[in-house]
Structure 1
Amino acid sequence: MGLVSRHAFSHAPSAGRRTSASVPLALLMLLFGTAAHADPLLDRYVTEALASNSALQAQHFAVEAALQGLSAARGKRGPTVTLNARYTAAEGGRVIELPTGDLVNPVYQTLNQLTAGSANPTAFPQIDNTDIALVRRREQDTRLSFAAPLYAPEIDAEVHLRAAQLEGSQATREAYARALVRDVKTAYLRAVAADAGVQVLEASRASLQANLRVAQALVAAGKATRDQGLRAEAELLDIEQRLNTARNEARAARRFLNLLRNQDENTPVDVRVDTTEPLGDGSAPASSRPELRQLDAQIDEAEGARKLARAAYQPVLAVVADAGIQGVEYGSGRDPDVATVSLVLKWTLLDFGTRRAAVSRAAAQANQLKALRQDVQRQLALARANAADRVQTTADSLSTAAARRAAAEESLRIAERKRDAGQLSQAEFIDAERSATAARMGLLLAGTEQRIAAAELEFTEARFPLPAVLSGVSP
């Protein structure tokens, strides 16, 4: 979009020597500048919004989270090594009593009695019963555990699902970025239009101020009645009121543009354009809408969920190896060393329909998303057709508005000459001024709407060349 500087409106000659065509000529440069010049300011604002918009930053974090989820799923394919250590101090617990003393003491006593008085008497001691504590008072178990899946179809299904989620989050981010570009362009055009509208009304105010001076001079000379001066003053006050409203709208437009750029609401917004810059189209060839790719990813995600649910019907086989030490205390000897190797099979044989319901649910979600995609595709095609029609309609309206502006400007020039010659009433001149101001505003509005329609068409065709980070593909 190309716009002239505000200075094009600020050097209007005084009312007595003023040429009414000066403002419309600037407006024509404003409205048709895109045919020959680029707008580096708009490019800068779009770049700033893509780099700092808070909502888009949130989408970046969503993509990062999905990427890490995919990495975690892929990591399950590899082995894991875990250090497990346990040191236990216990008191009490169950005790097993062995009656060893009750069993052997009578025998020992009998033998001692039989050999008493012999040459070799025996002296077997009395033995207490044995108590075995099932809970050790002190115990440690420290080992390294190695586990690796040998056959685990659920892992591949989860990787597929996480990859689809990443694709969906990337498409969501791109869709938001393209909408942000459109909104920034629209907000900028609204700001430019509001600023230019203020300048149009300021030019009209200058003309009406000159008209008020002429009316007051005629009244003072006795060539006009006092009502003509009052009419001129009332019209000037009306323009002043419209100017206040237009300035408020211009400030609101700037605040909204700053919001999209994640800037303070009072940050200055420049709408001047370096018209020496050649226009670059800046649009890439039309590509598929990210909304459709987002739905494709969601369909793929639902298919991944179905595969994950079906994988639960199959067994999981893994190898697990442990190596470590056990004992009462930590030591360096070989006696407490322990090592085991196991093949672990897990196979759910009966779950009362839980897996079947999960498969059916995922299939239903996939079918729902496929039907939704067809509807969204038709809606996007309709939006594109409407945007193309709007571009053509606004182009036609712009031509009509330009012709209307030219006619109104010529009528105002003739009215100025007649008024200065005393051949035109105050009411007739004010009507001519009103028509000229309305025509200028109409031309400004038509030009703005045409550029907004072009931005909308660019959005519906996904043609804006986004940075690579916003349109990347899944790893």
Structure 2
Amino acid sequence: MNAMFRLPLRRLLQYAIVFIFLPGRAQTQDAVLENYINQGLKNNQGIRQQGFLLERNLYALKEAKSFFLPEVNFNTSYLDSRGGRKISIPIGDLLNPVYSSLNQLTNSSVFPQVENVSQTFNPNNYYDAKLRTSLPVYNAEIIYNSRIRKEQIHLQQAELDVYKRELVKDIKLGYYACLQAKEAVTILENAVTLARENLRFNQALVRNDKAIRTVVSRSENELIGLEARLEDARNQSLSAVAYFNFLLNSPLDNPVELPSVQQADVPAGITGEGRREELVKLESLSRINALSEQLAKAAALPKLSTFIDLGSQGDFVKFNNDTRYYLFGVTLDWRVFGGNRTQHRAKQAALEGKATSQQIDQVEQQLALQVETAENRLRSAARLFEASKSQTALSLQYYNDQQKLYREGQLLYIELLDAQNRLIGDQLQQSIAYLTIQTRSAELERAKASFVF
């Protein structure tokens, strides 16, 4: 019977092994989490979409810069017509009297009679083929469009970084949720083992007429309840793993490497602080608004360009020195009046810039409040964890004392169950409190933008 008395105590010590701290475990956990973060940043579908949008903006900038280069176009046309407007040319009326006089003077018919000519305006069997090379000499709209495209790249890069930071935070929270679910399963598995041993102990007491049958029934009910809680904890663990794999763009049932929880070191805060990409986005948007205002004003400026045509025109299929030609020109386009459209567009862009400036001030205050709140929540979580550790140690001592009294026959079984349930609850609460610290630390890291990609 002494061996039976010592067995639950050993199991209880195993039950508390979750909170034994081994040096180096924190580094293992951090290394595993870092690998998962890298995997998520590499495989996440949202990151890929943002990357495609950034690449699109890079090509848009190249497109805008291409307007500074010469543009060469080949153009050809062929015309064949019948009818239409005509012009009469009285060649016969003008030349025939002269030709008749010449024939009489020479006593010959060398000079024939000529018919009058009727020529249509539309060309017949006519082609025109040319290469036109055009080059903008001065166009302010092209300049500001190029600058806007360049600033849009900065905006999209900031958008990508925002998405990455949110993903890193979600991966960390998902990983801690998996750890928490695993710890809950471990605690409840140990509790079920302890409940089974208590059941066997009570059955032995009943067989030896040391206790009544009620304690066995109560032990069986307690075991059934713990097994149900264990099953629920395992299902929650499966759900947490599925969500974590979803963030990594992996099969939902992939196993997650979860090292033992290290509770020796409690993070006190995040020392580094970076520039929030939300502010970078708004500042880039403000610059785009300023450039848009300049672009609107540039519509009122003259546009100067030049071109040269190298081509051939004449009867179809004929190509010689007479058909070849070149044409050089300079064009100036200057809008004299446009119904004040330019002024209205410039004012719209100016007002958008003012609205963005006000939004920047508001977001700066919101982000400062977010950092302050995250720091306070982390400090509160640390204090709650310290309190839960003290409470768990007290509950463990209390349970050991109650178990000793019960086995000496000086305590009712219901009082032992109360001590056991209190211990299970406190251990679960301690696990939750510790992983809450990790969660609050990840939230503070996100608020300060201190994670380095």
Is the alpha carbon distance of 1:216 and 1:280 closer, same or farther for their aligned partners in structure 2, counting shifts above 3 Å?
A: closer
Matched, 1:450 2:450: no
Residue range with higher mean Cα deviation, 333-342 or 90-99: 90-99
Out of 1, 5, 12, the position equivalent to 1:20 is 12
Task: Tell me how far apart the structure 1 counterparts of residues 280 and 23 of structure 2 sit (CA, whole Å).
Answer: 36
Matched, 1:236 2:226: no
The match for 1:390 is: 377
CA contact (8 A) 1:63 1:169 kept: yes
CA contact (8 A) 1:37 1:279 kept: no
Out of 399, 421, 426, the position equivalent to 2:413 is 426
TM-aligned CA deviation for residue 151 of structure 1: 1.4
Is the alpha carbon distance of 1:85 and 1:79 closer, same or farther for their aligned partners in structure 2, counting shifts above 3 Å?
A: closer
Deviations 1:361-383 (A, max 9, x none): 11111111111111111111101
Matched, 1:92 2:82: yes
Aligned length: 446
Structure 1 gap segments, 5+ residues each = 1-12, 467-475
CA contact (8 A) 1:15 1:207 kept: no
Deviations 1:62-95 (A, max 9, x none): 1111111112212222222x13131425343524
Q: Aligned to 2:444, what secondary structure does the other structure show?
A: helix
Q: Aligned to 1:342, what secondary structure does the other structure show?
A: strand
CA contact (8 A) 1:191 1:253 kept: yes
Amino acid at match of 1:88: Y
CA contact (8 A) 1:108 1:125 kept: no
Deviations 1:95-144 (A, max 9, x none): 414152673488479x57x988x982668644333232333333332222
Amino acid at match of 1:400: A
The match for 1:441 is: 428
Task: Tell me how far apart the structure 2 counterparts of residues 321 and 119 of structure 1 sit (CA, whole Å).
Answer: 54
The match for 1:256 is: 243
The match for 2:47 is: 56
Task: Tell me how far apart the structure 1 counterparts of residues 7 and 56 of structure 2 sit (CA, whole Å).
Answer: 65
Residue range with higher mean Cα deviation, 145-154 or 256-265: 145-154
Task: Tell me how far apart the structure 1 counterparts of residues 371 and 439 of structure 2 sit (CA, whole Å).
Answer: 14
Is the alpha carbon distance of 1:68 and 1:280 closer, same or farther for their aligned partners in structure 2, counting shifts above 3 Å?
A: farther
TM-aligned CA deviation for residue 351 of structure 1: 0.8
**Identity of matched residues, %:** 24
Q: What's the TM-score, normalizing by structure 2?
A: 0.91
Matched, 1:199 2:190: no
Q: Summarize the alignment of residues 322-361 of structure 1 with structure 2, pairs less than 5 Å apart.
A: 322-331=309-318, 333-361=320-348
Matched, 1:45 2:32: no
Out of 346, 366, 385, the position equivalent to 1:379 is 366
Q: Aligned to 1:286, what secondary structure does the other structure show?
A: coil
Out of 357, 361, 372, the position equivalent to 1:370 is 357
The match for 2:21 is: 29
Residue range with higher mean Cα deviation, 42-51 or 320-329: 320-329
Task: Tell me how far apart the structure 1 counterparts of residues 389 and 271 of structure 2 sit (CA, whole Å).
Answer: 31
Is the alpha carbon distance of 1:396 and 1:17 closer, same or farther for their aligned partners in structure 2, counting shifts above 3 Å?
A: closer
Task: Tell me how far apart the structure 2 counterparts of residues 284 and 151 of structure 1 sit (CA, whole Å).
Answer: 52
Out of 65, 73, 81, the position equivalent to 1:74 is 65
Q: Summarize the alignment of residues 128-147 of structure 1 with structure 2, pairs less than 5 Å apart.
A: 128-147=115-134
Q: Aligned to 2:383, what secondary structure does the other structure show?
A: helix
Q: What's the TM-score, normalizing by structure 1?
A: 0.87
Amino acid at match of 2:19: L
TM-aligned CA deviation for residue 27 of structure 1: 2.7
CA contact (8 A) 2:128 2:312 kept: yes
Is the alpha carbon distance of 1:280 and 1:325 closer, same or farther for their aligned partners in structure 2, counting shifts above 3 Å?
A: farther
TM-aligned CA deviation for residue 398 of structure 1: 0.6
Out of 93, 104, 107, the position equivalent to 1:103 is 93
Is the alpha carbon distance of 1:48 and 1:33 closer, same or farther for their aligned partners in structure 2, counting shifts above 3 Å?
A: same
